[in-house]
Amino acid sequence: MHLNTIQPVYFSPTRTSGKIVHAIAEGMNIPVNKEIELTYPTANQEITIRDTLAIIGVPTYAGRVAPTALERLKHLHGDSTPAVLVVLYGNRDYEDALIELRDWAKAQGFIPVAGGAFIGEHSYSTAEMPTAAGRPDAADTEIARNFGKTIILKLKEFNQPDEIPPLHVKGNFPYKENNPKTPATPSTVYELCTQCQYCIEICPTEAIELKEEIESAPETCIKCCACVKECPNGARIFNTPFTEFLFKNFHDRKEPETFI
């Protein structure tokens, strides 16, 4: 199968999913189309991807595809389009996320050709209690590039996308139930906050606003902690007992898993 271009697609509030998608594309050594980034709200325009190889990356929240990512992906369609599917998780477990993404892709007209579960710094990781801090790192991106090379070699064995055998990945169906949403949100250390409003700009769900102070709306905050990790003054924090739980129980390094 001859492929002329690659189409990156990702939802990536803390940039980890996007980093791996681009690393896989680099390994393929094929021209890359302008990325489709679903991180920030846009008009709900229906998009059909055809005549290319899609690489679709999303974060994992509690062992499932992030609900906001799925909501935005529903406007994306394939036309028997081959697709590489990638989930990023915070060193705990990706559970049913990859099989959920595979099933979504098939339902939307894509042909899954490969899948990968990569590790990104957990949203709740802190300097004092880190979980997968700094990941994906150089070793992860090298694995992603080699994954891309392997996929291209594999696809050369086929003449048409419909010749590609079904993709088998880890996971279960029915998928695990989503956990109930909690009202906790990141908060602001007012002594450090300059009200630059950068957190408002980068929030993927427009959950942050400046009232008398910077505040997050519990009903729309998805706890991605992009505002915490990217505040230039360290003024945004998120205190949750889960940070310590992750640090104590999921400290050992996990490695990416790939399926092709």
Mean pLDDT of 218-246: 96
Share of the chain above pLDDT 90, in %: 93
Tell me which residue of 81, 79, 82, 85 sits closest to 104, measured CA to CA.
Answer: 85
CB-based contact 89:120 (threshold 8 Å): yes
What's the confidence (pLDDT) of residue 2? Answer: 81
Q: CA angle 15-20-24, nearest 5°?
A: 150
What's the confidence (pLDDT) of residue 11? Answer: 98
pLDDT digits (tens, 9 = 90+) for 194-219: 999 999 999 999 999 999 899 999 99
- Structural domain boundaries of the chain? 6-175+253-259, 187-239
CB-based contact 73:186 (threshold 8 Å): no
Tell me which residue of 102, 100, 89 sits closest to 62, measured CA to CA.
Answer: 89
Mean pLDDT of 52-74: 97
Asked whether the predicted pLDDT for residue 182 surpasses 90, the reply is: no
What's the confidence (pLDDT) of residue 67? Answer: 96
Which has more pLDDT, 249 or 45? Answer: 249
CB-based contact 10:83 (threshold 8 Å): no
CATH number assigned to the domain with residue range 187-239, chosen from the 4 options 3.40.50.300, 3.30.360.10, 3.30.70.20, 3.90.1150.10 = 3.30.70.20
In this structure, the strands spanning 36-37 and 6-10 are parallel
What's the confidence (pLDDT) of residue 27? Answer: 98
CATH 3.40.50.360 fits 6-175+253-259, yes or no: yes
Beta strands in the chain (DSSP E): 6-10, 36-37, 47-49, 53-61, 64-65, 76-78, 81-89, 110-119, 187-188, 208-210, 214-216, 236-237, 257-259
Asked whether the predicted pLDDT for residue 181 surpasses 80, the reply is: no
pLDDT digits (tens, 9 = 90+) for 122-168: 999 999 999 999 999 999 999 999 999 999 999 999 998 889 999 99
Q: Which range is least confidently modeled, 18-22, 56-60, 209-213, 228-232?
A: 209-213
pTM of the model: 0.96
Number of CB atoms found within 10 A of residue 58's CB: 28
pLDDT digits (tens, 9 = 90+) for 65-103: 999 999 999 999 999 999 999 999 999 999 999 999 999
CB-based contact 135:119 (threshold 8 Å): yes
What's the confidence (pLDDT) of residue 161? Answer: 84
Transcribe 84-95 into DSSP letters: EEEEEE-SS--T
Side chain identity, residue 166:
P
Asked whether the predicted pLDDT for residue 43 surpasses 80, the reply is: no
